[in-house]
């Protein structure tokens, strides 16, 4: 089917609720309202308020309750309304959700999914446009994935719900209304990267909101005679290191692009991994393009903050100059 990214998530949630009675959807306004982005629209009508649960405005309570439910055999899917609102639940996610499996020597699993609309591009106010994946990818015990297409939004979420591990599921909100096909079967496992566009001269490594930007950069570079590859990481923890190194083996050059601030961002981890594994095949340093090291700005300035076509192409040009 052809659908929007947001509707692909809705159908994935509907399938999970329909096929597994242990699945619950919970969060602020996910029921009658259908979520602030209407991603859960209609689910409470179909499955009732005991399985699609409107919670108080208390993120720590949402995740803490989900942890208890998971210990009793449920598979909760929590929605955090916006990326910047997840911090009240940070302790529950990083100190409890991520650790209990190891702390109990594998005796307890916590199959909890935390859905988080993430990044900018919609003209939102403060605390509504952050890219905080590095916090969670740094925490051992969590899977962290992000979807850039309806196909990945649908199947990554279904695979995340079926996983026995806790999963932080990032949804780039600026892509909610983008359309694409959703196949009848998944084409990749949960932790695999995808070659979105093959190329020979340089690899753009990216994820989430920046996949579209990198594809536009590759199309622009093609007009100047450069053949760029675009790889969507999809899984940020664990990373598909073999796919990343194979891409650099093919092209010899790499630029990492993400919306989060460059300093301390996952682009540094990608660059370090490539330097360790591909040093003798790299023709140039791995460059990073990211957000600036400042708090996310007011809506009228976000176009200057977010990496755009010109900033990506500038990094491409400087890398190809070696």
As annotated, the active-site residues are: 128
Chain center to CA of 211: 11
CA–CA distances in Å: residue 173 to residues 14, 44, 128, 140, 298: 20, 22, 10, 26, 17
Rg (CA), the chain: 19
Q: How many whole angstroms separate alpha carbon 156 and alpha carbon 147?
A: 7
Structure tokens at 43: 């689910």
Strand partners, 79: 27, 115
Structure tokens at 53: 């649960």
Q: How many whole angstroms separate alpha carbon 139 and alpha carbon 167?
A: 12
**Inter-residue contact 42 to 25 (CB < 8 Å):** no
């Amino acid at each position: 089917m052809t659908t929007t990214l947001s509707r692909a998530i809705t159908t994935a949630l509907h399938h999970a609720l329909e096929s597994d009675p242990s699945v619950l959807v919970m969060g602020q306004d996910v029921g009658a309202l259908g979520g602030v982005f209407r991603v859960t629209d209609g689910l409470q009508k179909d499955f009732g308020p005991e399985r699609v649960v409107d919670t108080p405005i208390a993120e720590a309570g949402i995740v803490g309750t989900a942890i208890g439910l998971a210990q009793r055999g449920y598979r909760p899917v929590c929605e955090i309304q916006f990326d910047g609102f997840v911090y009240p639940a940070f302790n529950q996610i990083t100190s409890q959700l991520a650790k209990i499996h190891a702390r109990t020597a594998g005796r307890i699993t916590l199959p909890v999914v935390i859905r988080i609309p993430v990044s900018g591009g919609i003209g939102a106010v403060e605390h509504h446009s952050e890219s905080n994946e590095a916090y969670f990818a740094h925490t051992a015990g969590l899977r962290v994935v992000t979807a850039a297409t309806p196909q990945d939004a649908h199947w990554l979420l279904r695979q995340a719900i079926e996983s026995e591990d806790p999963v932080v599921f990032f949804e780039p909100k600026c892509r909610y209304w983008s359309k694409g096909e959703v196949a009848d079967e998944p084409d990749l496992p949960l932790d695999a990267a995808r070659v979105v566009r093959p190329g020979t001269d340089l690899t753009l490594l990216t994820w989430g909101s920046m996949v579209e930007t990198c594809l536009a950069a590759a199309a622009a570079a093609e007009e100047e005679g450069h053949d760029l590859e675009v790889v969507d990481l999809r899984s940020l923890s664990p990373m598909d290191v073999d796919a990343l190194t194979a891409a650099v083996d093919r092209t010899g050059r790499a630029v990492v692009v993400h919306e989060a601030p460059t300093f301390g961002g996952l682009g540094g981890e990608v660059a370090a991994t490539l330097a360790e594994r591909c040093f003798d095949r790299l023709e140039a340093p791995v460059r990073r393009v990211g957000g600036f090291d400042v708090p996310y700005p007011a809506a009228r300035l976000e176009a200057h903050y977010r990496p755009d076509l010109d900033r990506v192409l500038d990094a491409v040009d400087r890398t190809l100059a070696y």
